[in-house]
Amino acid sequence: MNAERKVAVVTGGGTGIGRATCIRLAQTGCDVALIYSRSAEQADQTMHDVVQLGRQAMAIRADVSDKAQVNAAFEQVILQWGQLNYLVNNAAITRQLPFNDLDLVTDEIWDVLLSVNLKGSFNCSHAAAPHLRKQAGSAIVNVGSIAGETGFGSSLPYAVSKAAVHGLTRSLARALAPSIRVNCIAPGAVDTRWWVGHEDKMRQISGTLPLERISTPEDIAEAICFLLTAPSLTGQVIKAENGQTL
């Protein structure tokens, strides 16, 4: 991946897959703006690590479900660096719920998961699109989930929200072609803080994995960077799940 003089925005960039993606993009030559909502200390550390790799970095606090905050964040990126080449819509939340207990699925849970996971990805894509169109080879990668394919995950609303992200990917790919490619990575189980204390549930959901391993955030970051620079791919949902759905 040759990303010399390129600028990327990564939402949820302070921790987990987002952090790993920021580091990988910096290693390939990107300046990186990471958007975070609560993990200020981790965002500062990620920003520091990007700078240590010789690239410029900024950390911007914003709620991706709030259109005004998103627009302000992207304006800050353009004011600082004057261009945008890549967007990684990684910010997401979940609620750990017993999957078959529908009584626990409240309106509040639906609202917050759809607002962040789905609306947040749209808000950021909308704000980024005018700037991405100005750069050849620009791309968006949405971070979905294998739960969006199987319908089974940390909770029912989470699985549905990620299925919607997969649908958003295909629709945006049509809407933004030919100037911007849009793809989605759908990870299976990944060793992140989301599953701390819920390891047994993670193994139950994943089942028997042919590759006999759980993905690392760095695994998914590598796949994201591939999708950002794959010129023939758009509208695709690529599964990275160690053979879970074979």
Listed by start position, the domains of the chain span 6-240
1 pLDDT more than 50: no
Question: If you average pLDDT over every residue of the chain, what do you get?
Answer: 93
Q: 6-240 has which fold?
A: Rossmann fold (3.40.50)
Three-state DSSP class for 231?
Answer: coil
The catalytic residue among 74, 86, 158, 194 is 158
Residue 5, amino acid: R
Q: DSSP assignment, residue 102?
A: G
Residue 233: the pLDDT is 98
137 pLDDT more than 70: yes
pLDDT digits (tens, 9 = 90+) for 100-124: 999 999 999 999 999 999 999 999 9
Catalytic status, residue 86: no
Q: What is the Cα–Cα distance from 217 to 214, expressed in whole angstroms?
A: 10
Which residues partner with 153 through β-bridges? none
**In the chain, pLDDT over 70 holds for what percent of residues?**
92
> What's the Cα-to-Cα distance from 37 to each of 48, 91, 186, rounded to whole Å?
18, 9, 22
Q: DSSP assignment, residue 245?
A: T
Of 154, 26, 160, 159, the residue nearest 88 (C-alpha): 26
Residue 166: the pLDDT is 98
- Average pLDDT score over residue span 90-106: 94
